[in-house]
């Protein structure tokens, strides 16, 4: 009888932890709206990052930025970056994270909610979006970071 109770206790605890994890991922994933983010991305980001996010926008073609705008489809790189780091780069600009100052800060144009929307869209561009923490083979299309 006692043994049965302790097994039940373990099951309840496991279920509670599992529930916490599920609700946590649900809230972090629901943070931004992909559709709204796409609209902003097409308005502000594609000139540099390209219409498919591959880092080959029209401004890049003309101005030849070095380093080039990040390839947002490179899941091998992008999926290793945390939401907080990407959010900061978008909000405060590349320079704030020791990246190129060419990556502008958007805090005067986009509010936090809009940045989360854009980030949700950026996340949806990365190939291998299911990355679970195990290193992936390099994306052959990714341009090397200089």
Residues that bind ligand HEC (CB under 6 A): 44-45, 47-49, 59, 65, 67, 69-70, 81, 85-86, 89-90, 94, 99-100, 102-104, 106, 118, 122
Which residue, 9 or 113, has its beta carbon nearer to ligand HEC?
113
Residue 78: partners with Cβ closer than 8 Å, 6 or more residues away: 70, 72, 86, 122, 123, 125, 126
Which residue, 3 or 144, has its beta carbon nearer to ligand HEC?
144
Report residue 67 as tokens.
């380093």
State in angstroms the smallest separation of the CB of 137 from ligand HEC: 19
Q: For residues 38 and 42, what is the distance between their CA atoms, to the nearest angstrom?
A: 6
State in angstroms the smallest separation of the CB of 135 from ligand HEC: 17
Cβ neighbours, 10 Å, residue 107: 13
Which residue, 56 or 67, has its beta carbon nearer to ligand HEC?
67
Report residue 135 as tokens.
């290193």
């Amino acid at each position: 009888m006692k043994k049965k109770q302790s097994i039940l206790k373990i099951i309840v605890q496991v279920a509670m932890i599992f529930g916490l994890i599920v609700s946590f991922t649900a809230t972090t994933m629901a943070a931004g709206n992909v559709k709204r983010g796409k609209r902003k991305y097409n308005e502000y980001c594609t000139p540099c990052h390209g219409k498919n996010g591959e880092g080959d926008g029209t401004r890049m073609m003309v101005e030849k930025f070095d380093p080039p705008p990040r390839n947002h489809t490179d899941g091998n790189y992008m999926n290793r970056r945390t939401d907080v780091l990407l959010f900061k780069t978008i909000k405060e600009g590349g320079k704030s994270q020791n990246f190129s100052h060419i990556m502008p800060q958007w805090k005067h144009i986009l509010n936090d909610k809009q940045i989360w929307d854009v980030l949700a869209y950026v996340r949806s561009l990365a190939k291998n979006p299911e990355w679970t923490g195990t290193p992936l083979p390099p994306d052959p299309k990714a341009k090397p970071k200089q």
